[in-house]
Structure 1
Amino acid sequence: MTTHLYFEIQAESPDRARHFYGELFGWAFTRVEGLPVAYWRIDTGGMQGGLLQRPAATPPDECGTNAFTCSFEVDDIHASAERIASLGGQVALPIFAIPGTCWQGYFIDPEGNTFGLFQVDEQAGD
């Protein structure tokens, strides 16, 4: 695994979130088409990120952490997914292509925490 990280923010209202983070940090957002959820790349001027339409209900108040999801770069996302399963983890969202960028997948660790993995591949989705 390399040291590259990618953060994502889930939002009930992506318009509201884009306005908030754009005004707060000056981040720019670019819509990405062809994904299984509404998605925008975030240009922070540094670390890479994304914003997506929350795919499930917002956790209730006082339920625990409602946070960003971090994704880790791996050399072989399919081998990593198999390893996750063998260690007691689960698939949260099956591996999919982000066209021209990478393969992405989301998983749940044995403690119930969601995290992402990505494998850089400029041919993804072709």
Structure 2
Amino acid sequence: MTATATATRTISWFEIPAINFERAVRFYEAALDQPMQRQVFGGVPMAVFSHEDEATGGAIVGNPRDLRPSVTGDGVTVYLAAEPTLQATLDRVAPAGGKLDGSIVELPNDIGYIAFFIDPEGNRIGLHSRHLR
């Protein structure tokens, strides 16, 4: 008999590539209005998004030879939490150096709202919040 584990979450970590690491970190700190923790893992600079110990974590990764920013939208999309509201976060994107990509979408069944932006590195990233304003 094989023992199986039940996953407490499907995603355990994500990475957003950056060619210009410092520019990318400054953008996300300003757009999300929260500091990031800069670290080096295996010689690779990373800036880790704030998260609870048991929550899904992620980082900006300054390693252009292994990961490349992508704006095509034909791959995986990462959605970041937009706090305190989606609109408040969207209002910080352009002044921080990003560009909005499309309109706000209201999700069914009170799931909330999503929107997309292009970061200064060229990554297309989603935002999600239960609250629009």
TM-score, L = length of structure 1: 0.43
Q: Larger radius of gyration, structure 1 or 2?
A: 2
Query: Given the two structures, how large is their TM-score scaled by the length of structure 2?
Result: 0.41
Structure with greater strand percent: 1
